[in-house]
Structure 1
Amino acid sequence: MSERVHADFRADALAGLRLDAAVAEFLQIPRTQATSWIKEGYVSLFNATGQSLKAAKSTKLTATDRVVVDAPAPRDITDVKPQVVDGFRVVFEDDDLVVVDKPAGVAAHPSPGWHGPTVVGALMGAGVRVSTSGAAERQGIVHRLDVGTSGLMVVAKNEQAYTVLKRAFKERTVEKVYHTLVQGIPDPLKGTIDAPIGRHPGHEWRFAVVDGGRESVTHYEVLEAFGPAALVEVHLETGRTHQIRVHFSALNHPCAGDLTYGADPAMSANLGLTRQWLHAHKLGFDHPVTGAYVEFESDYPQDLDFALESLRDGHF
């Protein structure tokens, strides 16, 4: 497996960000790692005509800039081994892609500092070969779910599928439907949250609604209201990191169990939640090779179902 991380991308979707923030966002690594690579000369910056620009961590990117990363990968993310992961399930597989049902506690791919199970390792453990496109530690991964979020993910098995699926997610043609249990009852019961998201100014691993953040659009509808909480269906128009969690926290309706974004610890404990009540329930897209529309659904896992039934039964 490669001992280097390679990336070559245009900054169109990351325009306005600092170079260190853009590299961290694109590669999903800590900003400190991106800063270190920039300082050590592993990150190059070019304008639209190919002219080399100064690659300083604070350089603000324009939409036509090109960023090239060629850096030594941290040892702990290149040595991906097969893993047997409880609750991990292959929902669908053909020659081009595999759709999996990811349990909570599993990362999409290895990253610095994460030593737990990953989708990449679980697929290797299941004998599923995926695309060699992308960085060595995240082969075939075209989108991600948070470690604490369960549900459906699609992974590419060849380069054509990888390229087409990556483009589909970027162009927002993929139907992504989530269910979440939020504290309180949102008003109105159906609406759209259109608020920019960026890194939290005081917390490296948190995000927030901030001026100058990236466009973030969340459509929601309350399915069931229980008084202290509500079951909500969410359709994502964009796919920012922690988008659902950040948007509902900003409305003062954090996802139940999500202590990082302001959930009530007492309510979380009473519902038996040790993570955010957030599940990728449905995933639909045009097949990257045949062009046929395919759609998959995932039932709630046991911990989320227990919390929901507790509310339905009035035991909370």
Structure 2
Amino acid sequence: MQVKNQIKIDISGSGQRLDQFLSVSFPEQTRSFFTKLIKSAHIDVNGLKVKPGYILQVDDIVKIRYEETPSTLEPAEIQLDIVFEDEDIIVVNKQAGLTVHPGKGTESDTLVNALIHHTQNLALKGSSDRPGIVHRLDKYTSGLMVVAKTDQAHARLRRQFDTKTISRTYWALVWGLPKEHDGTIHTFIDRSRKDPTRMAVTRKGREAITHWEILKEYNYFTLLKLNLETGRTHQIRLHMNWLGNPVVGDSDYNGRSSQLARLPANLRKRGQHLLNLIPRQFLHAKELRFLHPKTEKLVSFECPLPDDLQTALNKIPDLFLMDTTNL
């Protein structure tokens, strides 16, 4: 099947590398995937062959065209926590440690492999090696995802993401206490030039908006509720680090041992004990609300914190005297 797409660059894309822009704009594909297409002239800018590092300008026209190869995905018998399923969608509570789809370094044992073991009915729209996938969660982030079983469902759900009408609520435990009770973080995000596996707040890039509010305060930690207006790679994790309150347990964005210095010296062993209870970032996609792609009725789903995060949260009052504010 031939895939075609055309993009007119606006101010948010101006100044970005072509390969980085495409990998952020189409998160279902990898940067290396687009690099190969650019080098083989399946992607051009203003009708001209360019290099992956071409710097985009306002009003550039990027054309993408290639033949999609048949999927070679193999089913994997991985237990799934199915929250809801009908003939159009699956809502799954993804466990931490499960990568959403195959990619560099992960060829099997992903959520996609588990889904094709669970059902033969998954949307093929988008990418042959990521059937049904409309959005993603990081490998070590747990929580709710919606998967499309038909191409029509995929298109209608994707449109809701693009128009920012899907509601996604996360819970995160962060270091310290934010200066305000609630707020909105509005920045631009791009791949880090120092480490392309991480994201960075930049002057240009893709717009990223996160709304947050305090659920509960502890000594040295705060439990937050966060709502995504946009859904960029690592958005919450990067934004909280940028705010000065990194997500507890996040090894990529200053959320582990580097934060122990925030604690009084006599409490640092207790802080390390808490980190030992949380081998990943304390981030959970707790609520998901959207219009059902067929009925167009509002549907809402919620799942509790998984055992590892709840256990760690319950330990905080024992490890550190709790401050104020109950849920």
Return the TM-score normalized by structure 2: 0.85
The secondary structure found in structure 2 opposite 1:35 is helix
CA contact (8 A) 2:176 2:221 kept: yes
The letter for the 2-side match of 1:276 is Q
SS at match of 1:148: coil
- In the alignment, the residues of structure 1 paired with residue 208 and residue 99 of structure 2 have an alpha-carbon distance, to the nearest angstrom, of 23
Deviation at 1:228, TM superposition (A): 1.5
Indicate how the Cα distance of structure 1 residues 206 and 7 shifts in structure 2: closer, same or farther if over 3 A, else same.
farther
SS at match of 1:101: strand
Q: Using the alignment, how far apart are the partners of 2:59 and 2:294 within structure 1?
A: 30
Question: Among 12, 15, 18, which residue is 2:13 paired with?
Answer: 15
Deviations 1:215-234 (A, max 9, x none): 11111001011112111000
CA distance in 2, matches of 1:162, 1:230: 36
d(CA) in 2 for partners of 1:67, 1:61: 14
* Counterpart in the other structure of 1:44: 43
C-alpha offsets along residues 93-152 of structure 1, whole Å, 9 cap, x if unaligned? 111111111001112211122235322111112235211111111111111111111000
CA distance in 1: counterparts of 2:120 and 2:223, whole angstroms:
35
Structure 1 pair 81–309 and aligned structure 2 pair: CA distance change class (3 A): same
The alignment status of 1:85 with 2:84, answered yes or no, reads no
1:291 aligned onto 2:283: no
Q: Which residue of 2 aligns with 1:278?
A: 283
Counterparts of 1:87-236 in structure 2, within 5 Å, are 88-115=80-107, 117-127=109-119, 129-236=121-228
1:300 aligns with 2:305: yes
Q: Any unmatched runs of 5+ in structure 1? A: none
Query: How far off is 1:268 after superposition?
Result: 5.8
Shift of the 191–201 alpha-carbon distance from structure 1 to 2, 3 Å rule, reads same
CA contact (8 A) 2:241 2:253 kept: yes
Q: What SS does the corresponding residue of 2:252 show, helix, strand or coil?
A: helix
Q: Find the structure with the greater CA-based Rg.
A: 2
In structure 1, the partner of 2:64 is 68
When the two structures are aligned, how many residues end up with a matched partner?
304
Task: Provide closer, same or farther for how the CA distance between residues 38 and 65 of structure 1 changes in structure 2, counting only shifts above 3 A.
Answer: same
How big is the shift at 1:6?
4.2
Letter in 1 for 2:5: D
CA contact (8 A) 1:256 1:264 kept: yes
For residues 193 and 31 of structure 1, the distance between their equivalents in structure 2, rounded to whole angstroms, comes to: 26
Q: Secondary structure in 2 aligned to 1:146?
A: coil
Distance 1:260 1:148 in 2: 11
**How far apart, CA to CA, are the structure 1 residues paired with 2:78 and 2:146?**
17
Deviations 1:173-229 (A, max 9, x none): 001100001011111021111121111120010001111122111110010111121
Instruction: Return the letter of the residue paired with 2:21.
Output: A
Q: Which runs of 4+ in 1 moved over 6 A?
A: none
* Alignment deviations for residues 266-295 of structure 1 (CA, whole Å, 9 cap, x no partner): 646524111100000000001111110000
Task: Tell me the distance in 2 between the aligned counterparts of 1:106 and 1:67.
Answer: 33
8 Å contact 2:188–2:206 — kept in the other structure? yes
Offset of residue 256 of structure 1? 0.4
Matching residue's letter, 1:226: Y
Q: Distance in 1 between the 2:177 and 2:127 partners?
A: 42
Residue number in structure 1 paired with 2:236? 244
3-state DSSP of counterpart to 2:207? coil
Q: Distance in 1 between matches of 2:227 and 2:236?
A: 10
Percent of counterpart pairs with the same letter? 36
CA contact (8 A) 1:268 1:274 kept: no
Deviations 1:71-95 (A, max 9, x none): 676x9xx432112224x21111111
What is the root-mean-square deviation of aligned Cα atoms in Å? 2.4
Superposed, which structure 2 residues align to 1:28-39 within 5 Å?
A: 28=27, 29-39=29-39
Tell whether the 8 Å contact from 2:13 to 2:204 is kept in structure 1 after alignment. no
- How many angstroms apart in 2 are the aligned matches of 1:139 and 1:63? 32
Distance 1:304 1:7 in 2: 43
- Structure 1: how far apart are the matches of 2:118 and 2:7? 35
**Does the 8 A contact of 2:13 with 2:205 survive in 1?**
no
Q: Deviations over 1:136-170 (max 9, x none)?
A: 11111111111111000001111111111001001
Conservation of the 8 A alpha-carbon contact between 1:18 and 1:61 = no
Q: Which residue of 1 aligns with 2:324?
A: none
